[in-house]
């Protein structure tokens, strides 16, 4: 039995999210269908490193699957990318790994980035791929406010009401807000995240950027541990699963 680790890039707009669901097409289902075209297993089980919501994208989602077929990593990559068409999904890397590797449970850190386009003109090429905000945002204040959320905290305020995580306590390793021209990026890294956590944080940070909230308001919202104190939930358009870290060796 061979186990293959996949690094996957996708445009999340056509999908209900990463995970296979009954209410629409998912990225997982599209990949499993493609893999089933060239492996002998009747049922293909693909394990992802984390879920993404409807409309959320990925540069570096990681998944693994097992097969009894004697096939190389290059052949796996080529076969998936051939059979996955015309879905906006691409397997950008494939690696054969030990069977004790698990895309989800072996992960030590997950990285996301949220992209905002901050300009008056409407979006053309990046419509659906970024959050368009017209008012000028104060990125320095947004970054300062974000630092209140770094470390181990109870993130109930920034947690979706239907989040299935056992605890609202998470450790945010870093949270940075940076500007490059009209583009603003919110970078976040942690071992794991709550449902809607980054979108909730980004939506509230934008209130700081417009001056509607102070940097201390962000701290107060966190300390309230109350979803009703959330400022705003950003749309899925600008959120990307960036990459996953695993133990070296």
Active-site annotation, residues = 53
Give the separation between CA 31 and CA 82, rounded to whole angstroms. 11
- b/e map of 136-154 (b: 16 or more CB within 10 Å)? ebbbebbbbbbbbbbeebe
Ramachandran region, residue 124 (left: φ > 0; alpha: ψ -120 to 50; beta: rest): alpha
- φ and ψ of 21, to 5 deg: -140, 165
Strand partners, 171: 152
Write out the H or E segment, with its range, that includes residue 216.
helix 215-224
Give the separation between CA 99 and CA 194, rounded to whole angstroms. 28
Yes or no: say if 175 and 190 are a contact pair by the CB < 8 Å rule: no
Instruction: Report which DSSP code applies to 194.
Output: -
**Secondary structure of 98-126 in the HEC alphabet?**
CCCCCCCCCCCEEEEEEEEEECCCCCCCC
Give the separation between CA 112 and CA 174, rounded to whole angstroms. 11
């Amino acid at each position: 039995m061979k186990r293959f680790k996949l690094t996957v890039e996708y445009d999340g707009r056509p999908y209900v999210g990463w995970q296979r669901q009954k209410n629409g097409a998912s990225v997982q289902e599209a990949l499993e269908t493609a893999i089933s075209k060239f492996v002998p297993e009747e049922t293909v089980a693909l394990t992802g490193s984390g879920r993404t919501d409807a409309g959320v994208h990925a540069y570096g989602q990681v998944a693994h699957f097992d097969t009894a077929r004697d096939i190389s990593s290059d052949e796996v990559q080529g076969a998936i990318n051939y059979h996955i068409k015309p879905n906006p999904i691409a397997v950008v890397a494939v690696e054969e790994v030990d069977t004790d590797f698990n895309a989800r449970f072996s992960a030590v850190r997950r990285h996301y980035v949220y992209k905002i386009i901050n300009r008056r003109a409407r979006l053309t090429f990046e419509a659906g791929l970024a959050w368009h905000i017209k008012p000028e945002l104060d990125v320095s204040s947004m970054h300062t406010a974000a630092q209140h959320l770094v470390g181990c905290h109870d993130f109930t305020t920034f947690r979706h009401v239907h989040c299935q995580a056992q605890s609202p306590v998470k450790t945010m390793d870093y949270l940075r807000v940076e500007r490059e021209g009209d583009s603003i990026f919110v970078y976040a890294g942690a071992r794991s995240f709550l449902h809607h956590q980054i979108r909730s944080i980004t939506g509230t940070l934008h209130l700081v950027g417009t001056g509607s909230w102070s940097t201390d308001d962000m701290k107060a919202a966190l300390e309230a541990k109350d979803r009703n104190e959330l400022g705003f939930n950003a749309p899925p358009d600008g959120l990307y699963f960036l990459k996953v870290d695993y133990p070296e060796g």
